Structure 1
């Protein structure tokens, strides 16, 4: 399965095309891809090697899990109080909640957006308010803290050869491994060739323009002015304002997926801009929520 290279010489193009299939490993680089590398890469980019025991990580995950349970219990108690104040039973209150939830499927003018576009709460109920949960957290934490690393015997999900291959690939700095644009193939390219593939798009003056400085701070001020006007006009709430204006926005990143289905010799790239945590991520989601019913 895939394209195997035992030497640093490139395979003839005809042989490459003949061996190419779905979920193949396509080595377009000068790196000598050995069977152990191929065995590792065939597991896919989403494969996760068996992690080492991390005491702090386990305790952190335990408390995050307990927090979710505590929030659920806290909200259940809150609903019981609200039902009592409204003079309805808990069962009727559930039906009332379902009716209110149906409103979210109506056009934007009747949707309460203030509830959707706001930052996640950082509130954590005290575990002592829920005795069973507090006992559970204390017991499991005590068990985790008593574990010694030397007492653990972990069975790795990688063979010794694959572990060696993983270390070797981590140490190689002159290659880039990407998913292909189509076909589910894994493509290995020399870093210089990958950068050149990306620069084809960035050098297109019709689509991109090189800037002399990072404009994020300037655009942040513009967005802040716009959102402030929205709050003043009561179009959005203070919670919406905090959600739509990120405190520490990151610069979006461009990367490319090689189009090996079009060419295996210097394949063109499909440009993708990753805007996670960028300045416009949340405001784009906000606008999209308004426009989607008009487009569909």
Structure 2
């Protein structure tokens, strides 16, 4: 479904193109080099698992994943017969297929490709997924920016910064992580994982809430912090806090989990009410101080004997939470 809130008039071909969805996967011609690159990457992971599983002390259930990507390759003598036979059979079958592959029918016509390219190049348009329902929404760029600026004008939730804080924050992270490593609270691998020298600057964008109305719909603010300098700290804190969160009585994994729990509640006819609440701007309204107090209370329940101190986990949580920054239209903000 396409919802056009812009001044742009869509042609039937353009609307049909957008109806394919923003994540529509185009048919690709077979690239032997690309396939072998991906396949050998897969086989490398298989053989790393084989290699390390044979070493004493290895336990995949306890592996946290808090390390940078390995560049090590398992030596040839460690390859098992099973993985070697599997690799040879797959490559043999692929070579057979490559000899008979001639042409393919594209799932995207030339006209549709031209329509997609035209829409992508139009600087006056913003195309976003709707906040709910899966619709594709077209907006005037000016209207989109206006709604973003309206949200960012909330001085309680957002603080405008004078510049890019990346260098300053990176220095603080490195100093604290180095101290933790020197005191043997974290391993060398974890230290390297936590100190990201160059990170992607988080960006701010919104998803239009067209279910609230089609005239100037409000936007759901989202900060994409993937590969930012704060992401490793968040993953580190999540690794140690998640076991406690899963045990909390108020924890809900998703909608299905909520439905299952409701079905198991015995309601007394005539004296029970099921009430639903919709909290406006939930995540921006949650008190950071109250959140950190809950984290500290949770960490008090940790058993002794852990090399990583609760103080360091608390610091990672607090720093990632309170120093969360992003960029919009060249201006930096703290959330």
Q: TM > 0.5 between the two?
A: yes
What is residue 125 of structure 1 aligned with on the other side?
74
Alignment equivalent of 2:220, drawn from 245, 249, 270: 270
Q: Displacement of 1:270 after TM fit?
A: 0.8
1:197-276 matched pairs, under 5 angstroms: 197-276=147-226
What is residue 68 of structure 1 aligned with on the other side?
45
Structure 1 unaligned segments of length 5 or more: list them: 1-23, 84-95, 105-113
Q: Is the partner of 2:177 in helix, strand or coil?
A: helix
Q: Distance in 2 between matches of 1:191 and 1:138?
A: 52
Stretch deviating more after TM superposition (43-52 or 131-140): 131-140
Give the conservation status (yes or no) of the 8 Å contact 1:117–1:243: yes
Q: Distance in 1 between matches of 2:131 and 2:46?
A: 41
What is residue 4 of structure 2 aligned with on the other side?
27
Q: Is the partner of 1:196 in helix, strand or coil?
A: helix
What is residue 41 of structure 1 aligned with on the other side?
18
Question: Structure 1, residues 186-226: CA drift from partner, whole Å, max 9, x if none?
Answer: 11111121111111122222222222221111111111111
Q: Distance in 2 between matches of 1:252 and 1:278?
A: 6
What is residue 51 of structure 1 aligned with on the other side?
28
> Cα–Cα, structure 1 residues 52 and 128, in superposed 2: closer, same or farther, change >3 Å?
farther
Give the conservation status (yes or no) of the 8 Å contact 2:64–2:239: no
Q: Distance in 2 between matches of 1:73 and 1:232?
A: 32
What is residue 326 of structure 2 aligned with on the other side?
none
Q: Distance in 2 between matches of 1:217 and 1:137?
A: 48
Give the conservation status (yes or no) of the 8 Å contact 1:67–1:125: yes
- The TM-score normalised by the length of structure 1 is 0.70
Equivalent residues, number? 244
1:41-190 matched pairs, under 5 angstroms: 41-75=18-52, 78-79=54-55, 82=56, 101=61, 115-126=64-75, 130=79, 133=84, 136=87, 140=91, 152-190=102-140
Give the conservation status (yes or no) of the 8 Å contact 2:201–2:225: yes
Q: Displacement of 1:257 after TM fit?
A: 0.5
Q: Displacement of 1:56 after TM fit?
A: 3.5
Structure 2 unaligned segments of length 5 or more: list them: 249-335
Q: Displacement of 1:153 after TM fit?
A: 0.9
> Cα–Cα, structure 1 residues 123 and 137, in superposed 2: closer, same or farther, change >3 Å?
farther
Q: Distance in 1 between matches of 2:24 and 2:243?
A: 38
Q: Displacement of 1:58 after TM fit?
A: 2.5
Q: CA RMSD in A?
A: 3.3
Q: Distance in 2 between matches of 1:293 and 1:53?
A: 44
Q: Distance in 2 between matches of 1:37 and 1:70?
A: 47
Give the conservation status (yes or no) of the 8 Å contact 1:50–1:157: yes
What is residue 111 of structure 1 aligned with on the other side?
none
Q: Distance in 2 between matches of 1:42 and 1:243?
A: 41
Query: Which is greater in Rg?
Result: 1
